[in-house]
Structure 1
Amino acid sequence: MHRSPPRTPTARPGSARLPVGPLAVGLGLLLLVSLVCGVGLGAAGIGWGEVLRLLWAGLTGGSIEARDVAAYTIVWEIRLPRAVLGAVAGAGLAAVGVAVQAMVRNALADPFVLGISSGAAVGANAVILLGVFAGLGVWALSLSAFASALAATALVYAMARSPHGLTPLRLILTGTALAYGFQALTTVMVFGASRGEAARTAMMWLLGSLGGATWAQVPLAGAAVLAGWGWLRRRSEALNALAMGDETSAALGVRPSVLRRELFLVTAAVTGTVVAVSGAIGFVGLMVPHVARMLVGADHRRVLAVAPLAGAVLLVWADLLSRLVLAPVELPVGVITAVVGVPAFLLLMRRGGYAFGGR
């Protein structure tokens, strides 16, 4: 019996679709407000008027009085780069989530299904727990995490590749299997750590944290996310074809194996960059693409115009809540995204107007 190829989640006929332009503008304004809130709220009590004045002074190059130096440092050197990096990471994870779900044609896929984040965790924990590459200073953690993410990517690619190219099933199985192996190696390092504080830092990184955000990390992460998003937007029609199955996409002039290999490299590069600066933040790449499809339909050009903005807004607020819920103690960002994402995901599944696996 002939079986139709699996589909990515699609909105059912008749379901409401919002216009992309106004929705994107609205999300952009909401992101701007979210960034201001991310800078204005925190354990250090700085009034809104002072926050706005310091932001304006920093943007225009205005002078700062001596009594404002401490507040200026908090606003411009701690809170603002953290909020901006959170927006960049959220946008990148959401965009890559859209691509991965199309690449493997699986509604439960997210940027970490390829084992990249677990591989990055090995390198990050080698720095935190074992002191590897300590001579690199503040760059040691990010560089080690990115290098191990690339190594994990190469390993997954080599083991998943077959004479027929990269098939969705082999990618998922290989990525999942290697992710378990990387997690086991990370667990051994955590339990073998001689310092309790180092183990706590490692666990924070494994669940995602923007506590170490600096302005130096923003340009590289922003460039990687922007380049990846631009490439995905340019290939949105090919993604639409790929989501309908290999036979259909081949009939439409798209070579599935070649496109899937390109997608694998792009998603690995973006995911590795984001994970290297923010840790393994879950649920953003899984949930946001589904929310975007529910709002604007299944066309990848429309989805990719909305999902990154929604992911950026979500992660800015998740990071803000992680700082405020148990202040002055900081929670991992991944805890907040899971607390928000689980009920939202379950609610989304129960909606009658949206089908996760097609009709």
Structure 2
Amino acid sequence: MKPVYRVMLISFLCLLLTLLSLGVGEVSLSPAETCHYLYLALTSPEGSGMVEQDVLQFIRLPHLVLSFFIGAGLAVCGAVMQAVMKNPLADPYLLGISSGASLGAVLAIALGIGMIGSFDGIGAAAFLGAGLVSLLILLISSISGKGEGLTLLLAGFALNAACSAAVSFFVTVVADTSKTRSIQFWMMGNIRADSWMAIGILAILVTAGCFYFFSQRRILDLMLMGDDLSLTMGQKLSTYRKVYIAVMALLVGAVVYMSGMIGFVGLIIPHGVRLLVGSSHGRLLPLAALTGGTFLCWADILGRNAISGLELPVGVMAALAGSPFFLWMLISRKQVRR
């Protein structure tokens, strides 16, 4: 099958699966009913009083939209990270950016910082944590004299370990049960569709970030070739790496604020899509966004419906699906080297 047809087929399947996910739950809806109630939800935002429409409109639809954009953002950041690192096993958490965002949010919770007037202190702390970790990574790479993938990789490992240790410290020392529960929320990953305004802001940020990285697809393709070859073509990649890390910090900070820590999406989705359509970022990035969004939608649905009366965190479901795939990648890479 030609790549263009494969892209079209995968895109259609992702959109179809995302739409069908609205009908899954305790109140089961057929595809026809899902389309009918979705149309009613879009044409009558105040609701109709029908249980099926209200469940779809006020519970499932916000969760679907939010989880889709969270998954899309993580998958695109993962694809970009793998190009920046020149490592197919890299993901947004590898550099410690998400751990920094989570640490900022956890620190705000531990200190009791919530709403400051109309300003969300926890959200600001998540952005600040992601930004500080990104600045430290860029500073370390600048001091080393090169912005190469290996330098960024090692710096990210160290900062990720430090942030994770700090989060564990706060979990240990915080005595307030409600604060501990909130911290666990950030660590395990949960989709919280509180308001359409917050969902809309995240959607705008993720969409803008995806379009920006898509516009950089040729530079990302050059990164896969290596710095030396790119220099012969007149491109110095270290500057681009720093800009991309800064943009990823913004996206990951927003995602962590809305969902906490969700792993493996940025790892398995880009790698899986790359196996289907190749490494060209012109095809990889759009499909990674669609596939990542669809994957997290279904992970959220399975977490809420797999066990009756119990809601499993979406981060747990993503890890359950992602860890076997990660092990398979490690084994297959080892066999290829042999």
TM-score > 0.5 by shorter chain: yes
SS of the residue corresponding to residue 116 of structure 2 reads helix
Residue deviations 1:25-55 (CA, integer Å, cap 9, x gap): 3333333333334433234x36446654432
SS of the residue corresponding to residue 161 of structure 1 reads helix
Partners of 1:283 and 1:181 in 2: CA distance? 20
Match of 1:316 in 2: 297
In 2, are the aligned partners of 1:91 and 1:307 still within 8 Å (CA)?
Answer: yes
Match of 1:227 in 2: 208
Partners of 1:208 and 1:254 in 2: CA distance? 39
Whether 2:142 is the aligned partner of 1:161: answer: yes
How far 1:319 moved relative to its partner?
0.8
How far 1:79 moved relative to its partner?
1.8
Letter of the aligned partner of 1:168 in structure 2? Answer: G
How far 1:217 moved relative to its partner?
2.0
Partners of 2:191 and 2:171 in 1: CA distance? 20
Letter of the aligned partner of 2:107 in structure 1? Answer: A
Match of 1:60 among 31, 43, 65: 43
Partners of 1:283 and 1:356 in 2: CA distance? 22
Higher relative contact order (Cα pairs below 8 Å, separated by 6+ residues) = 1
Partners of 2:143 and 2:66 in 1: CA distance? 37
Match of 1:333 among 306, 314, 323: 314
Letter of the aligned partner of 2:195 in structure 1? Answer: T
- The number of equivalent residue pairs is 337
Match of 1:81 in 2: 62
Letter of the aligned partner of 1:246 in structure 2? Answer: D
Letter of the aligned partner of 1:77 in structure 2? Answer: F
How far 1:96 moved relative to its partner?
1.0
Letter of the aligned partner of 1:232 in structure 2? Answer: F
Letter of the aligned partner of 2:299 in structure 1? Answer: A
Match of 2:220 in 1: 239
Residue deviations 1:296-332 (CA, integer Å, cap 9, x gap): 1122222123211111111111111111122322212
How far 1:232 moved relative to its partner?
1.8
Change in CA separation of 1:50 and 1:107 when aligned onto 2, cut-off 3 Å = closer
Change in CA separation of 1:358 and 1:223 when aligned onto 2, cut-off 3 Å = farther
Change in CA separation of 1:80 and 1:180 when aligned onto 2, cut-off 3 Å = same
SS of the residue corresponding to residue 216 of structure 1 reads helix
SS of the residue corresponding to residue 242 of structure 1 reads helix
What is the 5 A alignment of 1:111-126? Answer: 111-126=92-107
Whether 2:18 is the aligned partner of 1:42: answer: no
Change in CA separation of 1:88 and 1:348 when aligned onto 2, cut-off 3 Å = same
Match of 1:279 in 2: 260
How far 1:169 moved relative to its partner?
2.0
Residue deviations 1:244-283 (CA, integer Å, cap 9, x gap): 1110011122112122122222222222222221211100
Partners of 2:337 and 2:279 in 1: CA distance? 10
Match of 2:112 in 1: 131
Match of 2:85 in 1: 104
SS of the residue corresponding to residue 143 of structure 2 reads coil
CA RMSD of aligned residues (A): 2.7
> Which stretch shifts more, 241-250 or 297-306?
297-306
Letter of the aligned partner of 2:75 in structure 1? Answer: A
Whether 2:11 is the aligned partner of 1:28: answer: yes
Partners of 2:337 and 2:275 in 1: CA distance? 12
Change in CA separation of 1:221 and 1:63 when aligned onto 2, cut-off 3 Å = closer
Partners of 2:6 and 2:301 in 1: CA distance? 23
Change in CA separation of 1:63 and 1:171 when aligned onto 2, cut-off 3 Å = closer
How far 1:345 moved relative to its partner?
3.2
- Report percent identity of matched pairs: 32
> Which stretch shifts more, 127-136 or 281-290?
127-136
SS of the residue corresponding to residue 107 of structure 1 reads coil
> Which stretch shifts more, 136-145 or 293-302?
136-145
Change in CA separation of 1:29 and 1:59 when aligned onto 2, cut-off 3 Å = farther
How far 1:227 moved relative to its partner?
1.9
Partners of 1:25 and 1:40 in 2: CA distance? 24
Match of 2:155 in 1: 174
5+ unaligned residues in a row in structure 1: which ranges? 1-17
Change in CA separation of 1:257 and 1:348 when aligned onto 2, cut-off 3 Å = closer
Output the TM-score relative to the length of structure 2. 0.89
Partners of 1:283 and 1:277 in 2: CA distance? 17
How far 1:342 moved relative to its partner?
2.0
Match of 1:295 in 2: 276
In 2, are the aligned partners of 1:119 and 1:182 still within 8 Å (CA)?
Answer: yes
SS of the residue corresponding to residue 162 of structure 1 reads helix
How far 1:350 moved relative to its partner?
5.2
Match of 2:286 in 1: 305
Match of 1:9 in 2: none
Residue deviations 1:143-187 (CA, integer Å, cap 9, x gap): 332232222222322233236342222211212211222112211
In 2, are the aligned partners of 1:19 and 1:296 still within 8 Å (CA)?
Answer: no
